[in-house]
Every structure is written in C-alpha cells, then in structure tokens.
Structure 1
Amino acid sequence: MNDDAEPRSIRALRRDAARRRDALIDAAATCFAEQGYGVPLETVAAAAGVGRATLYRNFDDREALALAIFSRAVDRLAVLVDPTLPIAQTVAAMVRAGTGAFSLFARIAAELHLDDANRAAFQALGGRLEAILAPALVAAQRRGEVRDDATSRDLVLALRMAGSLVLPVMSDDEVSAQIETGLRLLFAGLRPR
C-alpha cells in the first residue's frame, strides 16, 4: 500500500465531512428562514442531502445549528472590516452583507431556548463580533468620526439596528436608502459633541 494513500483518504473524508457540515448549515439557514425555527430537523437534514444521524453527529441540537449559522455569518462579516475606511462605510457594507443573517436572527431570537452552554456560546459570538469591530472603532475615534466613549458593543448594536431596517422584499435602491438613512441617524448619536 502506498504511504500517501491513507493520508489522502483521510483528507478526502475530512473534506466530505466539511461539505456535509456546510450543507447542513446552508439548509438550516434556508429552512429556518422559510419555515421558522421550529422546522423539523429531519427536514433540515433532507434539504442538506444527509440523514438525521449525520445532522446529530455534527450538531447536538437546533441551538447548536443556529449558532453555527451565525458563527459563519460573523466569519463572513469579519473580512469586511477595514479600519482605513470611514466607519459608516464599513458598517453599511456589513449590514448589506449580513442582511440575511440579521433578519434570520430577528426571526428566531424569540424562539431560541438556550441552556447555559448555548447562552455562553452566543454571548461569545457577540464578543467575537465586538473584537472584530474594535480596530475599526479605534481608527474611527482617532479620525473624530465617533465619540471616544463609544464601544464595540455600540457598533454591534448599530449593526443589528440597521440590519433590522432591511427587508427581503426591498429593491437594491430601497436597501441602500434604508441603510444610509438608518446609519445617518445612528451615527448622529455616536458622533462627538
């Protein structure tokens, strides 16, 4: 047997497992958005093209699945943070890119039943988003765009607030107008006085 055969097969298995996990996250986001947070997990598994056992090998419960959706959304938003850009531009780009995640979070937040471990995981995710935004905030404070006492948590709240203004039925022009107006109002409160 070739020495490289086993490592290649292991790498292939890991790639397949990662693809199945990603398919489950995609399917859950779609199912939760279309059918609500209470959609049967069997429906999520079927939409991902996997069995129920595969779903439970990857996620302990529906809350862990929701956490994975939002964790991936934070990963996608992180690449948009550029401290050299005006903070309103950075936040606008994040709102536009995260619209689906923000609306999904708003839709299922009331239905989340978090135990202590999942609550801690969601809080850690919020902390991660705050840490991602921190360099942009510091740069914006140096440029005089926001008050010195503004925090990364304030920016996360601004993101969530602006994200809630965007609806799936809006045209691109309407989305742009909503984001611009919402951020203008939000950042008026964050500007130095």
Structure 2
Amino acid sequence: MRAIETDLWQRLDSYEIGPAHCAFTFAQRLARENRWDPAYADRVLTEYKRFCWLACEAGHEVTPSDAVDQAWHLHLTYSRDYWDRFCADILRQALHHGPTAGGTTERTRYYDQYAQTLASYEAHFGEAAPDDIWPGAHRRFVVDPRAVRVNPADVFILPRRQAYGLAGAIAVAFAALLLMAAM
C-alpha cells in the first residue's frame, strides 16, 4: 500500500495547523518568516506532512531537509496544537524533535539517516522527493551548514552569478578608465 492510501496520510492531508482565527495561516507565516514565495511555503508544508508520515511509518529514524525542519520548528511553537491535536489525534503518537550532539560521528549518522529518508520517501510515495525542498545529503550536511541567516535590512544580498557579473562590469569600467587616463 502506498503512503497516500493510508489512514494516517488521509488525516495528515486534511489537517490544518493552528487555530482558525489567526490573522496569518500557518503557511503564510512560514512564507513570511523564511522569505519564501507563498506557493513554495505551501509545497514545504506538504513535504512536512510527508516527513511526519515517514517518521511514523518508515520503520527507521528519519531526518528532515532544512526547509521541512523550518516548518517543523514553526509548528512546535504552536505547542498546544502540536501536542494536543497533531501528535494526539493526527499522528496518534509523540513526535519529538531533538538537536544533534554535534561532531563528526553525529554528522555521519544524520547524513546516512537523511539519505535513507530520501530512499524511503521514494519507496513509499512512489516518486523522488523534490530537489528544491529535499536537496541531496551532501548539500544538506556539507554545503548548507555553512549558511548563515541574515537580516536583509542590514545587508545587500546578491546571487553569486549577479555578484560576479557586477564585479566583472566594474573591472571592465576600471580598465577602460585606466586606458583613457594613459592616453
């Protein structure tokens, strides 16, 4: 039986996080707090639910992608909803979020666990996890941990390609000025 045919998935799929009377839905808050497009936040929310299904049914420990982890962290701030509704009524079991103890052994453990999570995802959902939400294990545990969260009110953020293009244009303009000054 595929994951989407299970009672657990039906409960997860119909579940709305948080109280209905909030000014922002959970997905809207997730988008705002992570500076994501609303459509991307909706997709991450679906992937979070798929992760929770795997956490209950995969038969092994699972590790989320960073985007899915952001959804999980935010959900945990809705503590009554998370523990009293989500775990009790939807998952019908506790789903704890524990931090890593750090170090090489832990990184290797989570790297391997994440790779196994991706394999289980494909086996149970019948398709590969979307790369833009679930990057490969190398990206997740080697490249992405170097990232830092910044406040865009304090800095300019340019994609690498644009920064190189701007630096190249400045270099060409400077070289042209030097040539003109030499004449």
TM superposition score category, shorter chain reference: under 0.3
- The normalised TM-score by structure 1 is 0.27
- The normalised TM-score by structure 2 is 0.28
**Could you say which structure has the larger radius of gyration?**
2
